[in-house]
């Protein structure tokens, strides 16, 4: 297979500095051969390099180049970093919204990725989101960046069907589809100044069916939340979720927003359906399915 | 006048009765079932979890979510300040109650 002109395998720290410094935008994949989880990300990386021939892609075997890895604050593998040629640091206004890549033309895709990248000096591709990392290594990266008080944007590669379609393994990923019904949550990394009502509106519309619960579906932290998850699963409903125990601001303000003082709260198509009692009643009366978006 | 031994119970009964003129109102105190739960740790509240079964024509024409919201609104103070933590609600109209 001919090597691609936009992909470089890094062979020295100097080469990394030179290449990252010379391209407007580089996407770097810090990986290790011994790390099982890197296999999937390597495929994602390849797929992305096909899609964006104008961007420079750098493959760095993290442990071989410890100075570079340290400079880039790599805590664990795999890590993708998007490096924009250094200019005056601008704090992120709002992290880029979730993109629907599958519907775009190549030009739109490129523009979209560029916009994503340009929204933040540092952009991290994670399994999951900063709020809900879906693997231990992603969680560590998030913790490190937070500790460093680095403002960053994030992209949940598990939420992008086009990218994920390239990986057969991900069709068996427990969050899609099988009996597993959770659509991973796109958590925007909004800075504190962001209007909470805007944030709530976005959260509510994150998924066609959106559950605000205590804990998460595989580890609910209250009996009512556990029951409602069970009901949704029994009914084969695909839903996104938000753990209100993780975010006190959302926990308190959503109560006012919804005019609903308790959790769990189930939203469908951006409208409040209610709590556990209502879901139970609607299932019993046969009205539940008609309140949901087509599954 | 001495203060009630079960203030939250009585508030639920009094407020729902006067606002909704229910045909039937059943209030069950389940607080003891949840006393050891994580959310209740460190709490000295005695009246925290109730089940309310209410039949009233005030609910006519209202979707379930609105009926529950009405009840929550009536008990806003209890929920915010008096230790009421959770309500299981069944809210029917006379016609609906007679059907089952």
A274-287 pLDDT, tens digit each = 999 999 999 999 99
Interface test with A, best of B51, B65, B100 (most A CBs within 10 A): B65
CB B25 within 8 A of CB B16: yes
Interval A217-271: pLDDT, tens = 999 999 999 999 999 999 999 999 999 999 999 999 999 999 999 999 999 999 9
- List chain A residues with CB under 8 Å of B72: 259-262
- Domain residues for the domain of B81 are 23-41+50-99
B10 found inside a domain: no
B contacts of A261 (beta carbons < 8 Å): 72, 76, 79-80
Q: Does the ipTM exceed 0.90?
A: no
Q: How confident is the model at residue A160 (pLDDT cuts 50, 70, 90)?
A: low
Q: Which residues of chain A are within 8 Å of residue B89 when distances are taken between CB atoms? A: 277
The DSSP secondary-structure symbol of A239 reads B
Token pair for residue B22? 């229910």
State the Cα–Cα distance between residues B86 and B47, nearest whole angstrom: 10
List the single residue in B65, B85, B90 with the smallest CB-CB distance to A273: B65
Query: Has residue A145 got a pLDDT over 80?
Result: no
Query: What residues of chain B lie within 8 A of the CB of A259, using their CB?
Result: 69, 72-73
Report the residue from B65, B85, B86 with minimal CB separation from A278: B65
Q: Is the pLDDT of residue A109 over 80?
A: no
**pLDDT above 60 for A183:** no
Least confident of A9-13, A133-137, A226-230: A133-137
| H runs (alpha helix) in A157-222 | 161-165, 196-204
Domain count, chain B: 1
Residue B22 has pLDDT above 80, yes or no: yes
Indicate whether A163 pLDDT > 70.
no
Beta sheet of A240-243, edge-to-edge order: A240-243, A209-213, A265-268, A271-274
**Residue A137: what pLDDT?**
62
Mean pLDDT score, A57-83: 86
Separation between Cα atoms, residue A46 and residue A218, nearest integer Å:
32
Residues of chain B whose beta carbon is less than 8 angstroms from a beta carbon of chain A are 34, 37-39, 64-65, 68-69, 72-73, 76, 79-80, 85-90
Burial class (CB in 10 A: 0-12, 13-18, 19+), A130: buried
**Residue B30 maps to a domain:** yes
Indicate whether B6 belongs to any domain. no
**B74: in domain:** yes
Residue A219 in tokens: 């580890």
Q: Are A104 and A63 in contact (CB under 8 A)?
A: no
Q: What pLDDT score does A118 carry?
A: 59
B79 with A273: Cβ contact below 8 A: no
Report yes or no on B57 lying in a domain: yes
Strand A79-84, strand A25-31: pairing: antiparallel
Please count the other Cβ atoms lying within 10 Å of the Cβ belonging to residue A62: 23
Domains of chain A (ranges; CATH) run: 7-83 (3.40.30.10), 106-170 (3.40.30.10), 196-290 (3.40.30.10)
3-state class of A157 per DSSP? helix
| CATH code of residue B62 | 3.30.300.90
pLDDT digits (tens, 9 = 90+) for A73-105: 887 888 888 887 754 333 333 333 334 455 556
Question: What local confidence, expressed as pLDDT, does residue A90 receive?
Answer: 36
Q: How far is A6 from chain B (nearest CA, A)?
A: 54
Q: For residue A147, count CB atoms less than 10 angstroms from its CB and return exposed for 0-12, middle for 13-18, buried for 19 or more.
A: exposed
């Amino acid at each position: 297979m001919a090597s691609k002109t936009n992909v470089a395998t890094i062979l020295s720290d100097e080469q990394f500095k030179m290449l990252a410094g010379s391209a407007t935008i580089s996407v770097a994949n810090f990986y290790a051969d011994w790390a099982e989880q890197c296999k999937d990300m390597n495929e994602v990386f390849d797929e992305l390099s096909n899609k964006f021939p104008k961007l420079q892609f750098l493959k760095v075997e993290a442990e071989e180049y410890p100075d570079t890895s340290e400079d880039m604050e790599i805590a664990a593998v795999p890590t993708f970093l998007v490096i924009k040629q250094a200019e005056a640091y601008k704090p992120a206004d709002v992290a880029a919204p979730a993109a629907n890549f599958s519907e775009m033309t190549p030009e739109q895709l490129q523009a979209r990725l560029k916009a994503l990248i340009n929204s933040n000096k540092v952009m991290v591709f994670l399994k999951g989101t900063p709020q809900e990392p879906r693997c231990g290594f992603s969680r560590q990266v998030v913790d490190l960046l937070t500790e460093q008080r680095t403002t960053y944007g994030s992209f949940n590669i598990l939420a992008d069907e086009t990218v994920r379609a390239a990986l057969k393994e991900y069709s068996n990923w427990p969050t899609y589809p099988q009996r597993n019904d959770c659509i991973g949550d796109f958590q925007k990394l909004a800075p504190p100044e962001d209007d909470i009502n805007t944030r709530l509106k976005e959260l509510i519309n994150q998924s066609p069916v959106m559950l605000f619960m205590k804990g998460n579906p595989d580890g609910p932290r209250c009996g009512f939340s556990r029951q409602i998850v069970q009901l949704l699963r029994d009914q084969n409903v695909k839903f996104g979720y938000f753990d209100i125990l993780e975010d006190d601001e959302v926990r308190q303000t959503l109560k006012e927003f919804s005019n609903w003082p308790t959790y769990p709260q189930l939203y469908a198509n951006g409208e409040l359906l209610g709590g556990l009692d209502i879901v139970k009643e609607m299932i019993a009366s046969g009205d539940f399915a008609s309140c949901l978006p087509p599954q | 006048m001495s203060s009630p031994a079960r203030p939250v119970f009585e508030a639920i009964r009094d407020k729902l009765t006067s606002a909704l003129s229910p045909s039937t109102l059943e209030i069950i105190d389940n607080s003891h079932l949840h006393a050891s739960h994580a959310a209740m740790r460190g709490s000295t509240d005695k009246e925290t979890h109730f089940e309310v079964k209410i039949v009233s024509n005030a609910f006519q024409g209202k979707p379930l979510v609105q009926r529950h919201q009405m009840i929550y609104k009536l008990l806003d103070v209890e929920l915010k300040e008096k230790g009421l933590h959770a309500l299981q609600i069944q809210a029917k109209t006379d016609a609906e109650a007679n059907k089952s």
